[in-house]
Structure 1
Amino acid sequence: MVVSLEGWLSHGCLEEERAALLQIKHILDFPTRTSLPSWREDDADCCSWQRIECNVTTGRVTLIDLSYARDLELGDWYLNASLFLPFEELNDLSLSRNGIVGCVENEGFQKLWKLDNLEILDLGDNNFNNTSTLISSLSGLLSLKSLYLNNVGLKGSINIHDLNRLRNLEVLDLRGNEIEGFKSYHGGEKLLTLNNLKYLGLDNNRFDNNILSSLKGLSSLNYPNIAYNRVKRLINLKG
C-alpha cells in the first residue's frame, strides 16, 4: 500500500510569512536596495532564502537571522516588533548590529510575548537609548533560553525581578555594558534565581564585589564571566 503524504508535507513557506519577510526586507533595504538579495518577490518558497530556516513539516519559519543585515550608514532604527508576530513557530531571532536604538511607540518587545516558541533572541551590538525599560519589555518572553544583550548600552542598575521572570534562561549575555548592579523595586534580597542558567556573561561592566553576591543562588551556573569589572577579590558563589 502506498500512502501519499503530499497533504501533510510543506512545499514552501506560508504566504502570510513570506509577505511579512518581504515587508521586513523593504524596511531594512530602503533606500539602498542591497540587503538580503535572496529574498525575492518572484520566489514563492521563502524557506529556501538565506538567513531563514523552516519547520520541514509545517513550512513555518523557525529562524530569522538579520544580524548585520542593515547598512549602519542609514542611521538609527526604531524597530516595530509587531513585524515578527506572523511567525508563530519562530524559535531563533537575531537582530544584532543593525543600529537599533529603540522601538516604535506601542510596538515594543512586549509584542513578542505572544511568540511561545521563541527560545533564542540576539539583540547584541545595538545601542538602545532607553535602557531602563529594555529588560522589562523582554521580561514576558518566558520561553527564552538564550538572551544576548551584549554591547547594547545598558547602564546603572537592573531590576532583578525582571530578570528572574525569565526562568527558563540557560544563557544570558550582558557583556560590554555599563551595568553597576541589580536593584529590587520591592525591597528584600537582590538575588538572581535563574535555576537553569548555565552561562552568564558580565565582563566589561561596572560590577563590584557586593553586587556580585547576587549570583550565589545560581545553582546550575558553570562559570560566570566577571572579568574587567570593579571586583577586587574572588567571590565564592557557592557560599
Structure 2
Amino acid sequence: MHRSAAELVLLLLTTGVACIFFLVPDAVHLQPAGARCLQRERDALLDFKRGITSDPVDVLASWQKRHKHCCRWRGVTCSNITGHVIELDLSNTNLEDQISPFLLSLEHLEYLNLNSTYLYGPKEFSGRVPTQLASLSKLEYLDLSWTSLLEPNENLRHLDLSFTSFSRGVSPQLANLSKLEYLDLSETHLSGALPPRLGNFSNLRHLGLSFMQDTHTSDISWLSNLQLLEYVDMSDINLSTIDVLSVANKIPSLKAIVLINCSLPNANQSLRHLNLTKLEKLSGPSD
C-alpha cells in the first residue's frame, strides 16, 4: 500500500509539471527578467509593420502594441543579456511594401533574412541595397535572395543575392567586404566577364556563381587566392578557354566543385591530376 501511494504521488507530481509546460509552451524560452524588449526597438518594429501593405499569411499578427515583449513576436530574436533585437527573420512571408527606414533603430541587428518577400527599396536605390541596411553596422548575415532588393556594410559574413536583379557587378564597396565567408550571386543579372575582384574575398568558404546572365571569363587565376574555399559553383559560365580544374587543384580546402554546362576543355585529362584530399563532390566534368 505504501509503495502504491508513493507511486501515485509521483505520478501526480509528474503530470502537474507536464501540465504547466503544456499550458505555458513558451516557458522554456523565457528570457531573464532584465532582458526584456526595449521600447525604442519595439516601437520601430511596430512602425515597420504599419508600413506593410500586404501580409498574406499574417506573419506579423503577433506584433501588437499590447504585447509589450517584442522578443516573443514571430521572427524576432533578442539578446538574452541586453534585450536588444539581434535577429529578424521574415523569410518566405511574401510581405509587401518599401523597405522601412525604421529598421535603422535596430542598431544591434546581426541577422536579417528577407528571403522571398516583396519588399523593395526607393527608386533612387534601384539595383542596390538601400542605404538604411548599409547603416546597420553590426549586421553579419544578410539574405536578400528572391527579392527585388539588391553596398552592404563591412562586417557582413553572409551575403545571399541569388535570384535577384543584382546587375552592378562587384563594385569597390562590395569588394571591401573582407570578412565575407558566404557569397551567392547565382541566377542574378550579372553578365559579361567574371570580375577578378572576387579573388579579394580571402575568407570565403562558399561561392555561388551559377546560371548568371551570359557570363564568361578568360582568367580564373584569382580563384586560387581563396585558400579557405570549400564550395564553388560556376555552372553555365563559359570556361572553354581555361583549365579551371588546374586552378581548383591549388585550393586544398575544397569539398565541392560544381561546373555544369561550362564547356570545359580536356576535362577528363585534368581530372586525373586532381589532388584534393577533402573533395566530396564534383559535378559537371565527369557527368
Normalised by the length of structure 2, the TM-score is 0.59
Equivalent residue number for residue 157 of structure 2: none
Taking a change above 3 Å as real, the CA distance of residues 150 and 91 of structure 1, as seen in their structure-2 partners, is farther
SS, match of residue 64 in structure 1: strand
| Aligned counterpart, 2:110 | 91
Structure 1 residue aligned with 2:37: 13
Say whether residues 1:43 and 2:67 are aligned partners: yes
The 5 A counterparts of 1:35-184 are 35-71=59-95, 79=99, 84-99=103-118, 104-105=123-124, 108-109=128-129, 111=131, 112-126=133-147, 128-133=164-169, 138-161=174-197, 163-178=198-213, 180-181=215-216
**How big is each residue's C-alpha offset from its partner over 1:213-234, in whole Å with a ceiling of 9 and x where there is no partner?**
3655544322122224433525
- Match status 1:194 vs 2:223: no
State the SS of the aligned residue for 2:86.
Answer: strand
SS in 1 for 2:67: coil
Contact 1:197–1:221 at 8 Å: present in 2 too?
A: yes
**Letter of the 2:186 counterpart:** N
**Structure 2: how far apart are the matches of 1:96 and 1:125?**
6
Task: Name the CA distance, whole Å, in 2 between partners of 1:61 and 1:212.
Answer: 47
> Which deviates further from its counterpart, 210-219 or 57-66?
210-219
Q: 1:199 touches 1:224 (CA, 8 Å); kept in 2?
A: yes
Q: Give me the whole-angstrom Cα distance separating, in 1, the residues matched to 2:76 and 2:164.
A: 26
- Give the aligned residue type for 1:149: L
Structure number having the greater helix percentage: 2
In structure 2, the CA distance between the partners of 1:173 and 1:118, relative to structure 1 (3 Å rule), is: farther
1:152, distance to aligned residue in structure 2 (A): 3.5
RMSD across aligned C-alpha pairs, in angstroms? 3.8
The number of residues matched between the two structures is 220
Post-superposition shift, 1:120?
A: 2.5
SS in 1 for 2:222: coil
Q: Distance in 2 between matches of 1:134 and 1:12?
A: 41
Question: 1:187-232 CA deviation, whole Å, 9 max, x = no partner?
Answer: x8751323332222333x3332446736555443221222244335
How far residue 123 of structure 1 moved from its aligned partner, in angstroms, is 2.2
The separation in 1 between residues aligned to 2:275 and 2:240, in whole angstroms, is 15
Q: How big is each residue's C-alpha offset from its partner over 1:153-184, in whole Å with a ceiling of 9 and x where there is no partner? A: 333334231x344333322333443362358x
Q: What residue identity is the alignment partner of 2:114?
A: L
Q: Deviations over 1:31-62 (max 9, x none)?
A: 45744222223222222122222221122222
- SS of alignment partner, residue 42 of structure 1: coil
Structure with higher Rg: it is: 2
Greater relative contact order (Cα < 8 A, sep 6+): 1
**Conserved 8 A contact 2:186-2:209:** yes
Partners of 1:43 and 1:212 in 2: CA distance: 60
The answer to whether the 8 A contact 1:54-1:61 is kept is yes
